[in-house]
Every structure is written in C-alpha cells, then in structure tokens.
Amino acid sequence: MTQPRTLHGRILTATGWMQGNIEFDQHVRSISAVPDRNPDFDLPLILPGFIDLHVHGAAGVDIMLGGDAARTVARTHARHGTTALLGTTMTADEDDIVHALQGLAGAIETREPGMARVLGVHLEGPFISIERLGAQPPLVVEATIEQVERLHALAPIRVLTLAPEIGNHRALIPRLKALGIRVQLGHSAGSYEDGVAALEAGAAGFTHLFNGMTGVDHYHPGIATAALAHAQYAELIPDLHHVHPGAIRTALRAIPRLYCVTDATAATGMPDGEYPLGSQRVFKCLGCVRLAAGSLAGSALTMDQALRNLVSLGLDLNDASNRLSLYPADYLGLQDRGRLTPGAWADMVVLDAQLRVRQVFVEGDALEVA
C-alpha cells in the first residue's frame, strides 16, 4: 500500500490552476490549495499524467514482438510522463496478432513497478484499406465479429481502427460498440459520406487525423473532412512532422475534444538507426521515423515533447494538458484518470518551468524519469 505523500506546487485541478498541496496515496486524497491568481513561477507544475491511446513501441522493441515487449514500452513512456496507455498492434496475420495480444495480456493484468498502466489494446489493423496502408504491411482482411471476439477474449480491445467503406464494416460498428470497443475510422480510402455514415452507426473517433485517410478537398471531401465537420473526438500526432501546424490549428478549431497521441515506435528513446515496426523495418533519422522508401512510419515522439510542441503552437498549458490527459480519459469513459481530483488515481507528472519532466507518479508510485 502506497504511504500518503504530499506535493507542493501549482496544481492543474479539474477546476483550473491552484497553488498549494496535493495529498495522495494510490489515489488523490485531498487538494489544499488556493486559486492561482498570483502564480509563483518558481514552484513546480503538477499536471495529470498523460494518457497515450496509440503506442507501438519504444526502447528498441515493438508491441508485436509479444513477450515482455509491452512492459518495456510501458516503462520507457512512463519516464516521459505517460501514466496510462494502449498497446497498439500492426496489420499482420492473425497468429502474429494473437502472439502480440498474449504478451499484452500479462502487462494489462499486472502493472509492475516503473510501468505506466496498460489499459488495453488499440487494434490498428488488419481491418483497413489496401489503398491507405501508410506504414502498415499489405495483410489486410475484412473484419468479422467472430475474429474480433476471438482477439478481444485474449486481451481487452479498447479501440479498434477500421476503414468504414470496406465490406460489412459499417454494419459491424454497432456490434463492436456493444462489446465496449471504441471504433475509430482510419487507414481509409472512404468518402465524406462513408465517414458520416460510420459516425451515425456509432463510430467514436478517427485514427491519427489527416494521416492514412482521404483528406480535405472541396469537390471530393474525404474521411478527414467528415472528422472536421462532425467529430467530437479524434486523435492527432503533434510531432510537427505528421501534420502541418496550420492543419493542427484547423483541427483544434473544428473538433471540440481533439486529443493527442504519439504513434510511437521502437525507435522512441533510441539513437538514429534501424528498428522493427511489426514485420517491417523502419529508420530513425533527424527525429523522424520512416520506411526505406521514405514515407513516415509512426514516430519517435514522447508525450512530454507533445506537450511542449502544443504550447509552442500557442496553446495555453491547461488546454494542452487536457488534450494529453482529460480528453483521452473521457474518450475511454474513465472518470478516475486524466484529472486531479479527490478519488482519482494519483497519476501525476511534475514539470519545471521549461516543461521538462522532473517527477512521475503512477497510481501513487514514484517512477524514475528520463
């Protein structure tokens, strides 16, 4: 049992910035603070821990390797302030996906010291379009409820990406929703109309908005246009390589609860070089991760850098934090994460004035930082 502790600083609470103390064990017990009207900028900043709903890897390993890979990934991202995440798969043969989920199951069941909480699975493939693979291999299949149920029984699928224009995918969305799975539209060659129809059928969000989908064309609008016109939630990669700042600002104005993900690969936290991404090899150079042919293939982003990038675009820290913590928690229906309020899990990241990570707490446990 975690012993009660107290942190003092500028605390981003559910009602805004406060200055004072937060007492916690595994959960937040109390916040004794006053409104931050005259901020002391020498005090540390205490924010809700980051929640990353799209993570493929880190530290040289990929979720698809199975075994202890998910634990290594969760430890690495935790040092950068991520306190909870979804292990994300790649398009692959079912046997390889099963192997990955079997490895994830243990990490989901038991959070070991030093790890972020692995909340479940983001199944990014194989139910995608051959025309919009991005960095996914061409091993796509049409989804069936039987296959999803088999995989869901191995490890809880919290988010599932599919291309809504394929086969029976749109009709499948209500059945996936009934299983407690958030269906996201992505890796899709579909039209605006396909996107709107999928939302009406119960789809909840969009996978790495703008990337791997039909775009914004005023004659032939695509999936990204459906997101901008109708979405409440969508994920976006704010590494400033995947999406131009102008497009990020457009999405921020259009989508009320746009939240950010890393889409991090095995190259995260590693020097330039060659790394696995599912069955493929990717190359990290100058902060980007690419296939041999040159196209972007996930990222080397961490959530603390995502926060700094958002602030560099002009977002205030409260807004930027919400897009890394509160909104992804709400998207998964988690009322006890992504916010600092009595009764919530004591998931916290402590930053200095330059927004560098100084301390991380996962469910009250202090972790080593980067």
Tokens at 121, concatenated = 């699975």
- Give the CA distances from residue 91 to residues 82, 123, 157, 191, 205, in Å, rounded to whole numbers and listed in that order: 25, 9, 15, 22, 19
Task: Describe the chain by its helix, strand, coil percentages, rounded to 5.
Answer: 30, 30, 40
Report DSSP letters for 40-75, one per residue: -TTSPEEEEPEEEEEE-EETTEEGGG-TTHHHHHHH
Checking 356-361 for CB contacts under 8 A at 24+ apart, the result is 356/304, 357/79, 357/80, 357/81, 357/304, 358/44, 359/7, 359/44, 360/49, 360/78, 360/79, 360/81, 360/83, 361/24, 361/49, 361/83
Q: Phi, psi (5° rounding) for residue 239?
A: -85, -5
The single-letter code of the amino acid at 12 is: L
CA angle, 172 then 173 then 178, to 5°: 100
Catalytic site includes residue 263:
yes
Given the residues 263, 304, 330, 347, select the one marked as catalytic.
263
Which residue blocks in the chain are alpha helix, DSSP H? Answer: 69-78, 94-109, 145-154, 169-178, 192-201, 223-230, 245-254, 303-312, 317-322, 326-331
Which class for 256: exposed (0-12), middle (13-18), buried (19 or more C-beta within 10 A)?
A: exposed
Which residue blocks in 216-337 are alpha helix, DSSP H? Answer: 223-230, 245-254, 303-312, 317-322, 326-331
Tokens at 339, concatenated = 């916010």
Residues 66/72/73/76 CA torsion (nearest 10 deg): -170
Catalytic positions are 263
